Amino acid sequence: AQSVTQLGSHVSVSEGALVLLRCNYSSSVPPYLFWYVQYPNQGLQLLLKYTSAATLVKGINGFEAEFKKSETSFHLTKPSAHMSDAAEYFCAVTSTGFQKLVFGTGTRLLVSP
Amino acid sequence: DVKVTQSSRYLVKRTGEKVFLECVQDMDHENMFWYRQDPGLGLRLIYFSYDVKMKEKGDIPEGYSVSREKKERFSLILESASTNQTSMYLCASMGGILGANVLTFGAGSRLTVL
- What would the mean pLDDT of A23-46 be, rounded to a whole number? 89
Is B42 in contact with A104 (Cβ distance < 8 A)?
yes
Residue A30's closest CA among B58, B31, B99, B104? B99
Is A46 in contact with B90 (Cβ distance < 8 A)?
no
**DSSP code, position B99:** G
Strands (DSSP E) found in chain A = 3-7, 10-14, 19-26, 32-38, 44-50, 56-58, 64-68, 73-78, 87-94, 102-103, 107-112
Q: Tell me, yes or no, if B56 comes closer than 8 A to chain A by beta carbon.
A: yes
Shortest CA gap B5–chain A (Å):
10
Most A CBs within 10 A among B23, B43, B59, B88, hence the mutation to make, goes to: B43
pLDDT in tens, B16-46: 999 999 999 998 888 899 999 999 899 999 9
pLDDT at A98: 63
pLDDT in tens, B50-78: 889 899 999 999 999 999 999 999 999 99
Q: Long-range pairs for A60-68 at CB < 8 Å and ≥24 separation?
A: A61/A85, A63/A19, A63/A35, A65/A23, A65/A33, A65/A35, A67/A33
Phi, psi values for residue B68, rounded to 5°: -140, 90
Q: Pick from B41, B56, B105: which is nearest to A43 by CB?
A: B105
**Residue pairs spanning A and B at CB distance below 8 A:** 56
Strands B10-13 and B109-113 turn out to be parallel
- What is d(CA B36, CA B17) in angstroms, rounded to the nearest whole number? 19
